[in-house]
Amino acid sequence: MHGSPIRHCRQCGTAVEHRIPDDGDTKLRAVCPSCHTIHYVNPLNVVGTIPVWGDKVLLCKRNIEPRKGKWTLPAGFMELGETTAEGAARETTEEAGAQFAMEGIFSLINVSRVGQVHVFYRAQLLSDVFAPGTETQEALLFDETSIPWDELAFRTVKETLEHFFADRRAGHFGFHALDI
């Protein structure tokens, strides 16, 4: 992501200038010429789970853009005031209506071209009954061979699922950090 979407100071409302601040910073920032507040634009965190029931994984068919109608793991943007695990659990409840127990962190994927970091946790489903929210058309269980690989919404989901199934075949789950 290049440039700043900030046009006015969040402190005083003055139109900002886009320049390198005088404080030794080396990046172009939105700087208020009136109150001198420096505004930073930071990456967004996307958090979610890999919910498992037996040998199957729960996927949600998106009911919102981007990529409406494509399949994804339950995930979404982390909110202020929550941990990555709390956000992943909230998103799984909101999108899939699933009952589950959180397990360990599984993947961290930097998607710097869109200013995002995706974090996925493993989760053990406690039931195979789901009540998807409005952002999900349907929530279904898939074994590895039936996953609609060509209909996955995001590369981060594909990479996470590929690592998950490889780890499961190997008999142990690791932590996977990737840049895409």
Average pLDDT, rounded, for the chain: 95
DSSP label at 81? T
Clarify whether residues 110 and 29 are in a common domain: no
Kindly list the strands in the beta sheet with 29-31, ordered across the sheet, starting from the edge strand earlier in the chain.
Answer: 17-19, 29-31, 38-39
- Tens of pLDDT, residue by residue over 77-109, are 999 999 999 999 999 999 999 999 999 999 999
Residue 32 has pLDDT above 50, yes or no: yes
Measured distance CA(92)–CA(87) in Å, rounded:
9
Clarify whether residues 68 and 152 are in a common domain: yes
Q: What one-letter code names the amino acid at 56?
A: K
- Kindly report the pTM of this predicted structure: 0.88
Q: What is the pLDDT of residue 18?
A: 94
Do 43 and 115 contact (CB within 8 A), yes or no?
yes
Average pLDDT for 120-145:
98
Residue 29, domain extent = 1-41
Total structural domains in the chain?
Answer: 2
CATH code, domain with 37: 2.20.70.10
Clarify whether residues 150 and 110 are in a common domain: yes
